[in-house]
Amino acid sequence: MQSQLDVIQSLPPHLQPFVATQDYTNYTPRDHAIWRFLIHQLAYSLKDAAHDTYFEGLEKTGIGFEEIPRLEDINQRLNKLGWRAVAVDGFLPPAVFMEFQAIRVLAIAVNIRSFEHMLYTPAPDIIHESAGHAPFLIDIDYAEFLQRFGELGMRAIANQHDMNHYEAVRELSIVKENTESSLEQIKQAEQAVEELQNTKVVPSEANLLARLHWWTVEYGLVGEVENYRIFGAGLLSSLSESQSCLDDSLVNKKVLTINSINTAYDITAQQPQLFVTQSCRHLSHVLEEYGRHMCCNAGGSSSLIKAQEAESVVTFTMNSGLQVAGKISRVLCDAVGNAIYVNTQGPTQLALNGTELEGHGIDYHGEGFGSPIGRLVGVERCLSRYSVDELKRHGIRIGKPATLRFLSGITVQGTLINLLRRGQTNILLSFDKCTVNDVDGNILFDPSWGIFDMAVGDSVISVSGGSADQDAYPIYETPSLSAHTDVSLRAEERALFTFYSELRDTRDGDKDPTALVNRLIQQDDIDWLIVFEALELAMAHKLGADIQASLLDKLMNETGESADLILQGLKRLGLD
């Protein structure tokens, strides 16, 4: 069995800082009771609503009903499916989350929702991540769809608004789950999210893809509009919404098409509409329809301009294979829209096949990078494909002055001091005392600026979000806030947890619970969940009607969200 440490060490270095470890001893007896109640309740309420794969998947992925699962156990099951699992601390940057999916790693939040937020929590927790996402990995088509989603998602171009929204949502989830947060703190966090959601900005490529993820992976239905089942993890892990979504008078159902990316979502409210997919293959077809229009697959000047507008770090790839990662600040185009010159500003990285070129990291290119794009006058094919001897015949040789005249009218004049080749491909020419002018004589590079490193390539074939080599050029900071809150236990809480433990020991050992149940009945200030577990024991051991009635009386005194949970639980016990 792989340990958590083994799995973490097998990850790419830039992903490791986002991984937490599951310290199983940190879960309290109440945490395990919360898990037990909710998983039993979800299984009951979803018996006719969830896709059949869900229940088969719970068993095959090591998701038990009686206690919070151990990551090692989940991993042992997922390994047989070609997947792994890691613990994480709350929300991850979307691109990081997607990269985990791309390498077939399920990111599972290490925390479990609080007793106060059993019905719904805005924070990702182990119930949502494990019992919601893991079961469907047993379906090969779904697993392939999820991996492909990750591959596209990690390459989608995000903008600063996306990152601001991520930070705000993460903070809201933390504040709401922290029992010590004040009402004012919660209000401020909610307002921050609401303001960002109401800000009118053109949705980024990553945002549109996130919408598709929401309407499928998180809140998806499968079947037909008139006859559907739930497969979205967000619905499968929510007692309230998994029921309300079935009411067609409350929630409109639409056939899933690529048009779903035009529908925004609100994480703080129940969704007024959901989308129904016919099958996992249908999911993949819709995803690929979006993917083929993404900048990572389209390339060209339009993708470069989208990246410039996003004002975020992207990687554009030349047809020579050279990758340039940085914030695009300028894109010059000719009369027919071809990109002829590109500039980045700030730290920039040059790479090949996802590995930074030695000497061409963000320290060396700290101020930015610029290069012409296109073919040379009198040169029949891309300069990247020329041999060294062929380059010499065109007057391009190391240590000698050279003049490169592009069809766009851009001219590069300087002394070639280095030719970087990989395999039989030219990818970078470096010039000293170099001047670069456009067709009108405007200076694009001045000799006083230093060495001019020119990307070799006549077209941009891909533009992706993020840096090419994230180990050498990390752009995502580890989460700024910790989702895990350690609150020291008060004496009364320790007493409550003792009751939870005694109930568990009694249930597991099949002991006579009469004395324990009677002792609980005498308590005035205990969790309703303790009383509910005591009622389960009393019914299982056929204790007297008066004992069961006393426990029911205690439960009926609860109000609000607790009352809703209790009523659902009693229905499961046949006491509605």
Q: What is the pLDDT of residue 231?
A: 94
Name the percent of the chain lying above pLDDT 90: 75
| Token pair in block for residue 312 | 């975020």
Question: Sorting pLDDT into bands at 50, 70 and 90, what band is 551?
Answer: very high
Question: Sorting pLDDT into bands at 50, 70 and 90, what band is 558?
Answer: confident
Whole-angstrom Cα distance, residue 31 to residue 496? Answer: 12
Domain assignment of residue 122, given as a range: 4-288
The answer, yes or no, to whether residue 7 has pLDDT greater than 80, is yes
Judgement on whether residues 266 and 328 belong to the same structural domain of the protein: no
Whole-angstrom Cα distance, residue 206 to residue 290? Answer: 11
Q: Which of 254, 288, 322 is the last residue of a domain?
A: 288
Judgement on whether residues 29 and 72 belong to the same structural domain of the protein: yes
Judgement on whether residues 105 and 225 belong to the same structural domain of the protein: yes
Question: Sorting pLDDT into bands at 50, 70 and 90, what band is 5?
Answer: confident
In a domain, 484, yes or no: no
Amino acid at 296: C
Q: What is the pLDDT of residue 485?
A: 47
Judgement on whether residues 272 and 300 belong to the same structural domain of the protein: no
Judgement on whether residues 499 and 458 belong to the same structural domain of the protein: no
Whole-angstrom Cα distance, residue 411 to residue 71? Answer: 59
Name residue, tokens 């004395």. Answer: 515
Q: What is the pLDDT of residue 487?
A: 47
Number of structural domains (the chain) is: 3
**Nearest alpha carbon to residue 206 among 174, 165, 167, 173:** 165
Question: Sorting pLDDT into bands at 50, 70 and 90, what band is 102?
Answer: very high
Judgement on whether residues 370 and 503 belong to the same structural domain of the protein: no
In a domain, 471, yes or no: no
In a domain, 472, yes or no: no
Q: What is the pLDDT of residue 239?
A: 86
**Nearest alpha carbon to residue 69 among 1, 148, 152, 130:** 130
The mean pLDDT value for 125-134 works out to: 91
The mean pLDDT value for 69-90 works out to: 92
pTM of the model: 0.90
Write out pLDDT tens, residues 252-263.
Answer: 999 999 999 999
Whole-angstrom Cα distance, residue 384 to residue 457? Answer: 6
Instruction: Please give the order of strands across the beta sheet that includes 221-224.
Output: 227-230, 221-224, 273-277, 252-255
Q: Tell me the average pLDDT of the chain.
A: 92
Judgement on whether residues 165 and 231 belong to the same structural domain of the protein: yes
Judgement on whether residues 283 and 309 belong to the same structural domain of the protein: no
The mean pLDDT value for 565-570 works out to: 94
404 three-state secondary structure: strand
Question: Sorting pLDDT into bands at 50, 70 and 90, what band is 182?
Answer: confident
Judgement on whether residues 245 and 338 belong to the same structural domain of the protein: no
The answer, yes or no, to whether residue 321 has pLDDT greater than 80, is yes
The answer, yes or no, to whether residue 484 has pLDDT greater than 60, is no
Judgement on whether residues 192 and 243 belong to the same structural domain of the protein: yes
Q: Which of 288, 314, 346 is the last residue of a domain?
A: 288
Judgement on whether residues 111 and 14 belong to the same structural domain of the protein: yes
Question: What kind and span of H or E run contains 298?
Answer: helix 295-298
In a domain, 442, yes or no: yes
In a domain, 476, yes or no: no
Question: Sorting pLDDT into bands at 50, 70 and 90, what band is 398?
Answer: very high
In a domain, 473, yes or no: no
CATH of the domain at 205: 1.10.800.10
Looking at per-residue pLDDT, the higher value among 487 and 140 belongs to 140
Amino acid at 438: D
Q: What is the pLDDT of residue 455?
A: 98
What is the phi/psi pair of residue 189, to 5°?
-65, -40
**Nearest alpha carbon to residue 149 among 261, 313, 354, 288:** 288
Whole-angstrom Cα distance, residue 260 to residue 262? Answer: 5
What is the phi/psi pair of residue 134, to 5°?
-60, -40
Whole-angstrom Cα distance, residue 236 to residue 254? Answer: 19
Q: What is the pLDDT of residue 459?
A: 96
Annotate 489-519 with DSSP letters as a single string: PPHHHHHHHHHHHHHHHHHHHT---HHHHHH
CATH of the domain at 313: 2.30.30.100
Write out pLDDT tens, residues 344-379.
Answer: 999 999 999 999 999 999 999 999 999 999 999 988
Least confident among 305-319, 435-449, 559-573: 559-573
Q: Which of 449, 465, 481 is the last residue of a domain?
A: 465
In a domain, 234, yes or no: yes
In a domain, 475, yes or no: no
Looking at per-residue pLDDT, the higher value among 482 and 161 belongs to 161
- Which phi-psi region, left, alpha or beta, contains residue 354 (left: φ > 0; alpha: ψ -120 to 50)? left
Judgement on whether residues 459 and 506 belong to the same structural domain of the protein: no
